[in-house]
Amino acid sequence: MPHMSADQFRALGARMLETITGYWEGLDAGDGAGGGRLPVMCDKGPGWVLGQLPERAPEEPGGAGEWDAIFADVEKLIVPALTHWQSPNFYSFFPCNGSYPAILGELLSAGLGVNGMLWATSPAATELETRLLDWMAKAMGLSDEFLSTSANGGGCIQATASESTLAALLAARQRARAKGAEEEEGNSPRRATEGHGGRQGWGEEKGRGRGAPEYVVYASTQAHSSVAKAAMIAGIAEGPEDPHIWLVPVDASGAMREDELVRMVREDVTAGRVPLMVCATVGTTGITAIDRVDRIAAALESVPGWRGADGSARGWLHVDAAHAGALWLCEEFAHLRAGLERVDSICFNPHKWMLTTFDCDLFWTRDRRSLVTSMSINPAYLKNEASESGAVFDYRDWHVPLGRRFRALKLWFVLRHYGLEGIRAYLREHVRLAALLERWVAEDGAFELCAARTMNLVVFRPRGKAGEDEAAQDARTKDLMDAVNRGGRLFVSPVVLPREWKGTERDQLAGRLAIRMCVGATLVEERHVHGAWEEIRRVAREVTN
């Protein structure tokens, strides 16, 4: 069977680009309110696509006209069953920014078809990535210890923030084990545990399983579920409710309470458990609350055992800024960077709010030795001179998979096309639009704001009515949200507000349902946000009265 000819690929490639461009243009019909001809949130039920797909793969080649059929099927079966993440009226979750320069990077990456698992398997893939991570670290004001040129730091592209958190946790455990082993060496009575592989906690010897220490991970109640998931994958917790994950209560702003964190860490140290990693979130998923990384770092320093006896780092502080990290580029958001110079690792997703088509998460650590040791195995078939020389990074040791896509290309194209100033202007425009939306909500007596706006997310609900109980008000909020989404002109998502707000100034909102609108789509303009708000008001008049 002959391969597709270069001429055929050229022609079909042009047709595919036309299809993509047409799709993007169709997302914004320009009516100011709802955008494209398709509902933003997919309206197809389960099985709609499955029911139209053959149950077995084709035995025979497609033959003459195959691509007409394929393009027709994309139009008929795929596009209608999409939620249109690139619609200017996508306000749900966090955005998943795409852009034409990034799409070109994806195309080139697929076209070059390299696997950058080792430096030696395509030096350009590794070295471009290394340089881009350094560019971004400098642009964001990260300290020099996170640069690839530092003694023990550096960064790489991970697929997602979830994978960064897992990588951070594995590195943290590596370091804790090494410290435990070191301390045992210098403490002969504890050698009694050698039969368990020499691993144990930092306090009393209260092992778990076959003598492994009981590690504990901490994050706020508002942290993303990927923190618990990482702990489960790493075998530290058996499930999301496992006590080896502490969910630290938040304050009225939704930020982690440092006093509660310290209390929990102290309790664990006293009980002989090992506080392994604290994950602070800059820009929580629910309400974009900001954990005070500087205060968290300082508070942890006060806990005996957080540092080794020799003062060296032991517990690991990771920062998950999956969405908000993009704002580190903007000087007016310098407060979001406070304390980053004191953490062990950091991640943020250019694929959320920095125009770099999914997937692209940037991850930096100041302790690459612990990271690399945690995931490095050297089978004979991967050995090569460059790796042995120690002069290169082999990024396969920085994450779970061996193989690596050439993701740096799309980020490189984005940075070169927009420049940092272009990206800053883009972010600032979204923040401006979110502030406008916030004002419209505040001025409308039928609605109330439910959380302080820290960046481009506005959280609100219909105002309660006299005599209405909490459940009825939540039901009205949900009805409104569902009706808005069903209407197809925009897509918003729900949040359950922090339960710890009970008894605080936010008591009325504790554990209650609200609507979140994140203004961050690549194509969004003021006319869209205005139209979306008018649509919400219109639907609210119909549905919730």
Q: How far is the CB of 319 from ligand PLP (least distance, A)?
A: 10
**Cis status of the peptide bond prior to 359, with omega within 30 of 0:** yes
Cα 181 to chain centroid, rounded: 33
Identity of the residue, 122 or 284, whose beta carbon is nearer to ligand PLP in the bound complex: 284
Cα distance between residue 521 and residue 97, in whole Å: 6
Q: How far is the CB of 291 from ligand PLP (least distance, A)?
A: 10
Cα distance between residue 37 and residue 31, in whole Å: 10
How would you classify the pairing of strands 215-220 and 245-248? parallel
Answer for the pair 447, 462: CB distance below 8 angstroms, yes or no. yes
Residue range at the interface with ligand PLP (CB under 6 A); choices 42-50, 148-156, 199-207, 319-327: 319-327
Q: How far is the CB of 490 from ligand PLP (least distance, A)?
A: 19
Identity of the residue, 160 or 454, whose beta carbon is nearer to ligand PLP in the bound complex: 160
Q: How far is the CB of 486 from ligand PLP (least distance, A)?
A: 23
Cα distance between residue 144 and residue 124, in whole Å: 23
Binding mask 71-100 toward ligand PLP (x if CB under 6 A, else -) reads ----------------------xx------
Residue range at the interface with ligand PLP (CB under 6 A); choices 121-129, 154-162, 241-249, 297-305: 154-162
Identity of the residue, 33 or 329, whose beta carbon is nearer to ligand PLP in the bound complex: 329
Which one of 97, 193, 345, 349 is in contact with ligand PLP (CB under 6 A)? Answer: 349
Which one of 322, 354, 431, 490 is in contact with ligand PLP (CB under 6 A)? Answer: 322
Residue 162 lies near ligand PLP (rule: CB under 6 A) = yes
Q: Which residues contact 307 (CB under 8 A, 6 or more apart)?
A: 301, 313, 314, 315
Cα distance between residue 252 and residue 505, in whole Å: 7
Q: How far is the CB of 226 from ligand PLP (least distance, A)?
A: 5
Residue range at the interface with ligand PLP (CB under 6 A); choices 37-45, 69-77, 277-285, 534-542: 277-285
Q: Which residues contact 265 (CB under 8 A, 6 or more apart)?
A: 218, 275, 278, 300, 303, 306, 315
Q: How far is the CB of 323 from ligand PLP (least distance, A)?
A: 5
Q: How far is the CB of 26 from ligand PLP (least distance, A)?
A: 26
Helix-strand-coil split of the chain, %, nearest 5: 45, 10, 40
Residue range at the interface with ligand PLP (CB under 6 A); choices 80-88, 144-152, 317-325, 440-448: 317-325
Which amino acid, 333? Answer: F
Residue 491 lies near ligand PLP (rule: CB under 6 A) = no
Q: How far is CA 541 from CA 69, 380, 446, 528, in A?
A: 45, 69, 9, 20
Identity of the residue, 226 or 365, whose beta carbon is nearer to ligand PLP in the bound complex: 226
Here the tokens at position 78 are: 């795929």
Identity of the residue, 323 or 410, whose beta carbon is nearer to ligand PLP in the bound complex: 323
Cα distance between residue 44 and residue 84, in whole Å: 13
Residue range at the interface with ligand PLP (CB under 6 A); choices 2-10, 159-167, 437-445, 489-497: 159-167
Q: Identify residues 223-252 at the interface with ligand PLP (CB under 6 A).
A: 224, 226
CA angle 312, 314, 315 (to 5 degrees): 140
Residue 516 lies near ligand PLP (rule: CB under 6 A) = no
Residue 340 lies near ligand PLP (rule: CB under 6 A) = no
| β-pair partners for 216 | 275
Q: Identify residues 5-24 at the interface with ligand PLP (CB under 6 A).
A: none
Kindly tell me the sign of the dihedral angle through the C-alpha atoms of 20, 426, 350, 108. positive
Residue range at the interface with ligand PLP (CB under 6 A); choices 42-50, 160-168, 257-265, 475-483: 160-168
Answer for the pair 431, 456: CB distance below 8 angstroms, yes or no. yes
Residue 454 lies near ligand PLP (rule: CB under 6 A) = no
Here the tokens at position 521 are: 């789509």
**Count of residues engaged in binding ligand PLP, rule: CB under 6 A:** 15
Q: Which residues contact 436 (CB under 8 A, 6 or more apart)?
A: 526, 529, 530
Binding mask 278-297 toward ligand PLP (x if CB under 6 A, else -) reads ---x--xx------------
3-state SS, residue 218? strand
Which residues contact ligand PLP (rule: CB under 6 A)?
Answer: 93-94, 160-162, 224, 226, 281, 284-285, 320, 322-323, 349, 361
